[in-house]
Structure 1
Amino acid sequence: MQNSLTRKPIEIKISTVVAVAILLHDASTSVLEAALQEMTAGSPDFFDDEFAVIDVEAIADAEVDWNALIPLFKAHGLNPVAVRNAREEDYDTIRSHGLSIDVVSKPRLETEQATAPAPVVVEVPATAPVEPQIIVRNNPAMVIDTPVRAGQRIYARGADLIITASVNNGAEVIADGSIHIYAPLRGRALAGATGNTEARIFALTMEPELVSIAGIYRTFENGFPPLQANHPVQVKLNGDSIEVSSVKLVG
């Protein structure tokens, strides 16, 4: 008689998987390969087999050589799992490489007032009132009290991330909101993971391998910018670039 408590052969559960977005602005494989070489400085573990979603919206009318493009990303440590904004005639080729088709629903206003905003990015008419402080006020937080060690990845989904211990080299911390680290940051920190451009990264000591806000990233192979000693550091977006500055303490 089979034991009713026997574990099932398979279980399906909801899981969160963080993937980087590859936004293509050129369809030439040689151009993209040169850009990847420059970006990674030839380091084979720069991306460390990150899951990736390829977005081709910016080159929607271009012919993409998928048979060359997907192996190119894999050779540089990126692991494509899906393609966004692809042409329907390319679906079979994309799927033949084991990738999914990520169908994006475009937000639209049926009346003068939208009844439900898009969950990640909302285009608001210039005349509409905007109260971003409400988002910040209601943002929950995940709190981590132990060091984040090499090889570990922590993701605060829909929340800020607060860490009271160090984030070591080779570790990765991710948040849909802001990241606050009351200790040294030496690994990777990615804030605003779902597109929040107002997100920031704060740390008592900033020595990161990489920082990112809303998908815009910066590395520090050439050293960290000189900042005021014994002051916390913040990372934020200034237009389309990452800005690193000391936090001015009042009092």
Structure 2
Amino acid sequence: MAANIHIQKTDFSLPVIQLSQCDVAELKQELEQFALSDSDESIAVPCILAIDNEFTEPTFLAQSLECFRQHGFLPIGLKTELDGIIQQAKYAGLAVFSEKLNQLELFDAVLLQQQVKTPIAEQNVSPKPSEKKMPVILHRSITSGEQIYAEHNDLVVLGDVAVDAEVIADGNIYIGGSLMGKAYAGNSGLMNVDEISVRATSFEPQLISIAGFYQLYEDIPTKYLGLAVKVKFEAQRFEYRLE
């Protein structure tokens, strides 16, 4: 992901100036009515020019741009459907706005592409599942309100996880005591969902999550509550097994 370029979509807008006649002399005369040339020369009004009619004078666009600039306007784009004018606009370094292309949709596509690439960039610097280090092992219980996160690793808690406590791991989770709080396994999304499991010697969690799929306490089959259980997410459903 780029470190120095951050793209944002805002409600920023520009005035659109419609050119009805292709006459530079008339254009200059009308622009003088705005009296923008008396303002600070370092300040100009960015704008978009809209042209619907073809013009025969080959230098009309260049003369028009210079005329606008002399009167305090700064054309940065051209709105037209005429191929000949589009080519001149590109040659003049102007952005082209066309009804055939929805600029906001194009911009959304750029943002979506950036978002799609971001996890890939993160994946390049994250350990692969086969390269995970030794699991994070805690020789204690996790108290209510406490949150534990094992980044890029499995998590082993050799104690209880109290109600309202949270244990989170990018890999698997094993609880040696009672799981009564919340457990989030496969948090990073880098492991295959069928490789992830949550295990507990006494299984009665408030919530379990595997790779983003959730199940609440009230949805867990009662025959597994309080027992040694291993749970996985397979075939689009949670599968419970006694251990």
Report the TM-score range of the alignment, normalised by the length of the smaller protein: 0.3 to 0.5
Q: Which structure shows the bigger proportion of residues in helix conformation?
A: 2
Query: Structure 1-normalised TM-score?
Result: 0.45
Query: Structure 2-normalised TM-score?
Result: 0.47
